[in-house]
């Protein structure tokens, strides 16, 4: 497959290029690669050798992304790529995110659309590793999906410069974005990221009215202290208390060996956050209620058992969801 030209690249003297796609702003010498490993320099020109390289493809419940307030109960054709611009030592998908040599098959945007249709899915999720570093493929695939009546779901760490953020979000129909912690020091020194870039991306997605949910993996000793959790709550509340927030239990993976999240601690954080934010859910632990209630009459709209849901409290008319008990609009989006 012919690879298109890399975008978000500035040519510098002596055959060096600078990538403007994410806040790392890598200066890449001739023959080199950026930190994410998927954007490089050949003879003074930016190259994207992994355009269309897909490492994983599966039909998933939308709840697995996790998205609880967008097309509840639907399935989404999900694709993953290689590489990541962060270096989270606890990455749960490190085999593809931290390894550009992971086995991959090359697909064109049209191949992906055809596969989604063949799987009976009206939506495609760009997920598993970090899709934003593949901005060129993402933009091509998202634009074609939109034209074909297929919705685009983005699952991302939100670490991208403004220039690309707006272009990608304008083609995004729903997003789940990580807020990995609320410590600039952890973001820069441990994850190789940028707290303010992630917060800006969340705020921009909300401002652009993209159906948005946020996920935080709760890691003992790293981001689960009372003050830090309170800062996460405060920043989400300042953008909107109506953003659904998923607090997921971590398990040891990649190079991080701290013990798994204590379910009782996770539940206590979820309960504290529910005092301030409207929709807070736990992830990766069994037995904790994760239901959604009507903000108007408190009727039970959606009951969840893992990825299985009962949505008897919802009615659906004209691509909009309503509460069956009081008839008012329910906090779910179709788009
Ligand atoms: S997208 Fe990759 S190459 Fe570009 S600045 Fe970020 S880490 Fe560097």
Q: Residue 160: CB within 6 Å of ligand 1?
A: no
Report how far ligand 1's centroid is from the alpha carbon of 37 (Å): 8
- Assess if residue 178 is contained within a domain: yes
- Do 214 and 305 lie in one domain? The reply is no
Sheet strand arrangement including 17-19: 9-11, 17-19, 27-28
Per-residue model confidence (pLDDT) at position 97: 95
**Do 248 and 313 belong together in one domain?**
no
14 plus 65 within the same structural domain? no
User: Does 84 lie in the same domain as 228?
Assistant: yes
| Residue 40 CA to ligand 1 centre (angstroms) | 9
Are 230 and 313 contained in the same domain? no
Same domain, 28 and 58: no
- Rounded Cα distance between 147 and 150, Å, is 7
Residue 319 token pair: 């691509």
How far, in Å, CA of 22 to CA of 39, rounded? 11
Ligand 1 centre to CA of 36 (Å) is 6
CB neighbour list of residue 99: distance below 8 Å, 6 or more residues apart? 82
Quick one: which atom of ligand 1 is closest to the CA of 22? Answer: 6
Per-residue pLDDT of the chain (335 residues; tens, 9 = 90+): 778 899 999 999 999 999 999 999 999 999 999 999 999 999 999 999 999 999 999 999 999 999 999 999 999 999 999 999 999 999 999 999 999 999 999 999 999 999 999 999 999 999 999 999 999 999 999 999 999 999 999 999 999 999 999 999 999 999 999 999 999 999 999 999 999 999 999 999 999 999 999 999 999 999 999 999 999 999 999 999 999 999 999 999 999 999 999 999 999 999 999 999 999 999 999 888 899 999 999 999 999 999 999 999 999 999 999 999 999 999 999 98
Can you give the pLDDT at residue 168?
A: 98
Q: What pLDDT does 1 receive?
A: 74
Instruction: Give how many domains the chain has, as a whole number.
Output: 3
Q: Is 39 touching ligand 1 by the criterion CB < 6 Å?
A: yes
What beta strand segments (E) does the chain contain? Answer: 9-11, 17-19, 27-28, 40-42, 45-47, 53-54, 56-61, 75-80, 105-106, 123-127, 151-156, 174-178, 212-218, 245-249, 280-283, 292-293, 300-305, 308-310, 314-317, 320-323
Torsion angle of the four alpha carbons 173, 179, 180, 184, in this order, in degrees rounded to the nearest 10: 130
For ligand 1, say whether the CB of 34 is within 6 Å of any of its atoms.
yes
What integer pLDDT is reported at residue 3 of this predicted model?
Answer: 82
Residues 225 and 306 in one domain: no
Reported pTM: 0.97
Cβ of 39: how many Cβ atoms within 10 Å? 29
Asked if 23 and 144 sit in the same domain, the reply is no
Q: Are residues 225 and 141 in the same domain?
A: yes
Task: Let me know whether 170 and 231 are in one domain.
Answer: yes
Alpha-carbon distances, residue 79 vs 105, 146, 194, 201, 264 (angstroms): 11, 16, 25, 22, 33
Name the residue of 6, 38, 39, 129 whose CB sits within 8 Å of the most ligand 1 atoms, as the mutation to test its pocket: 39
> 25 CA to middle of ligand 1, Å?
6
Nearest CA to ligand 1 atom 4: 19
Q: Which of 32, 33, 34, 37 to mutate to test the pocket of ligand 1 (most atoms within 8 A of CB)?
A: 34
What is the span of the domain harbouring residue 33? 9-47
Q: Compute, in angstroms, the gap from residue 328 CA to the centroid of ligand 1.
A: 45
Instruction: Report the alpha-carbon distance of residue 282 to residue 248 in Å, rounded.
Output: 6
- Residues 201 and 219 grouped into a single domain: yes
Between the CA of 28 and the centroid of ligand 1 the distance, in Å, is 9
Q: How far is the CA of 136 from the centre of ligand 1 (A)?
A: 13
The tokens of 307 are what? 């990825």
């Amino acid at each position: 497959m012919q690879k298109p030209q890399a975008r978000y690249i500035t040519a510098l003297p002596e055959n060096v290029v600078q990538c403007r796609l994410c806040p790392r702003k890598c200066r890449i010498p001739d023959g080199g690669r950026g930190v994410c490993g998927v954007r490089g320099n050949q003879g003074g020109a930016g190259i994207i050798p992994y355009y269309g390289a897909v490492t994983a493809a599966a039909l998933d419940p939308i709840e697995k992304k996790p998205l609880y307030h967008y097309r509840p109960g639907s399935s989404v054709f999900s694709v993953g790529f290689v590489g990541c611009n962060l270096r989270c030592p606890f990455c749960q998908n490190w085999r593809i995110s931290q390894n550009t040599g992971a086995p991959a098959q090359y697909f064109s945007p049209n191949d992906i659309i055809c596969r989604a249709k063949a799987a009976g899915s009206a939506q495609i999720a760009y997920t598993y590793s970090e899709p934003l570093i593949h901005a060129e493929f993402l933009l091509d695939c998202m634009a074609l999906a939109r034209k074909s009546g297929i919705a685009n779901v983005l699952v991302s760490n939100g670490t991208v410069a403004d220039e690309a953020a707006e272009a990608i979000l304008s083609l995004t129909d729903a997003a789940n974005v990580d807020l990995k912690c609320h410590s600039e020091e952890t973001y820069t020194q441990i994850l190789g990221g940028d707290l303010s870039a992630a917060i800006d991306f969340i705020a921009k997605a909300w401002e652009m009215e993209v159906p948005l949910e946020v996920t935080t993996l709760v890691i003992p000793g790293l981001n689960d202290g009372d003050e830090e959790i309170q800062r996460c709550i405060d920043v989400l509340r300042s953008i909107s208390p109506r953003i659904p927030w998923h607090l997921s239990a971590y398990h040891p993976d990649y190079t991080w060996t701290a013990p798994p999240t204590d379910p009782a601690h996770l539940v206590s954080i979820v309960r504290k956050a529910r005092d301030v934010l409207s929709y807070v859910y736990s992830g990766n632990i069994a037995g904790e209620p994760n239901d959604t209630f009507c903000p108007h009459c408190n009727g039970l709209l959606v009951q969840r058992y893992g990825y299985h849901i009962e949505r008897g409290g919802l009615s659906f008319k004209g691509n909009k969801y309503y509460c069956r008990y009081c008839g008012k609009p329910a906090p779910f989006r179709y788009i």
